[in-house]
């Protein structure tokens, strides 16, 4: 009887070990995917260089696909005329002319200055189907785009203030 108990315990431990191995492998595959993808961007910096350049809050949003808390960003309720650039690499992303008030707590635009630097890709995180917006020059996460914006595009580019650097006209 004792032998059978030992065999059952051994099988149980082996099953748990194989599950942990599979999870670790999946995580490694994911990291490799991100790394491979990031090598496509014209601007390349090491993770350490990004950490040195950015504040902790910026790093979380831009390099870890984080979202700043609503109503906390410096460009929410901000109405100056000018251009918003990528805070990581300096390419132009949005104009104040397409900025509009949403009441959501994040700066929002109905169109990018150009699709050249504003890329879109599917984001299935947190059990939601969203479209992520990122900088095509450096790969920085900027925010998300939704289909509930005003005319003429019907789009709402919901951005993180931490991702933007505003320069007055
Ligand atoms: Fe950038």
- pLDDT-based confidence at 30, cuts 50/70/90? very low
> Across all residues in the chain, what is the average pLDDT?
85
Tell whether the model's pLDDT for residue 3 goes beyond 70.
Answer: no
Ligand 1 centroid to residue 138 C-alpha, Å: 4
Predicted local confidence at residue 5, as pLDDT: 62
Q: Which residue has the higher pLDDT, 35 or 60?
A: 60
CB neighbours of 145 closer than 8 A, spacing ≥ 6? 120, 131, 133, 155, 156, 157, 158
Residue of 89, 135, 138, 158 marked catalytic = 158
Ligand 1 centroid to residue 103 C-alpha, Å: 26
Active site residue 158: yes
Ligand 1 centroid to residue 162 C-alpha, Å: 12
Ligand 1 centroid to residue 107 C-alpha, Å: 17
Predicted local confidence at residue 124, as pLDDT: 92
Instruction: Average the pLDDT over 143-159 and give the result.
Output: 98
Instruction: Average the pLDDT over 35-43 and give the result.
Output: 71
- pLDDT-based confidence at 29, cuts 50/70/90? very low
Mind listing the pLDDT tens digit for each residue in 52-97? 999 999 999 999 999 999 999 999 999 999 999 999 999 999 999 9
What's the 3-state SS for the chain?
Answer: CHHHHHHHHHHHHHHHHHHHHHHHHHHHHHHHHHHHHHCCCCCCCCHHHHHHHCCHHHHHHHHHCCCCCCCCCCCCCCCCCEEEEECCCCCEEEEHHHEECCCCCCCEECCCCCCCCEEEEEECHHHCCEEEEEECCCCCEEEEEECCCCCCCCCEEEECHHHEEEEEC
Which residues have C-beta under 5 Å from ligand 1, the single-atom ion?
86, 88-89, 135, 137-138, 140
């Amino acid at each position: 009887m004792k032998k059978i108990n030992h065999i059952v315990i051994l099988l149980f431990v082996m099953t748990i070990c194989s599950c942990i191995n599979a999870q670790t492998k999946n995580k490694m595959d994911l990291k490799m995917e991100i790394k491979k993808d990031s090598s496509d961007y014209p601007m390349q910096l090491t993770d350490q260089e990004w950490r040195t350049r950015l504040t902790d809050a910026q790093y979380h949003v831009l390099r870890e696909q984080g979202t700043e808390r609503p109503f906390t960003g410096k460009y929410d309720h901000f109405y100056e005329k000018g251009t918003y650039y990528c805070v990581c690499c300096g390419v132009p992303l949005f104009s104040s002319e397409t900025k509009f008030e949403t009441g959501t707590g994040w700066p929002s635009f109905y169109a990018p200055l150009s699709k050249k630097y504003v890329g879109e890709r599917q984001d299935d995180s947190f059990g939601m189907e969203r479209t992520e917006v990122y900088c095509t020059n450096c790969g920085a996460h900027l925010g998300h785009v939704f289909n509930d914006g005003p005319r003429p595009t019907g789009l709402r580019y919901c951005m993180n203030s931490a991702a933007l650097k505003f320069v007055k006209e």
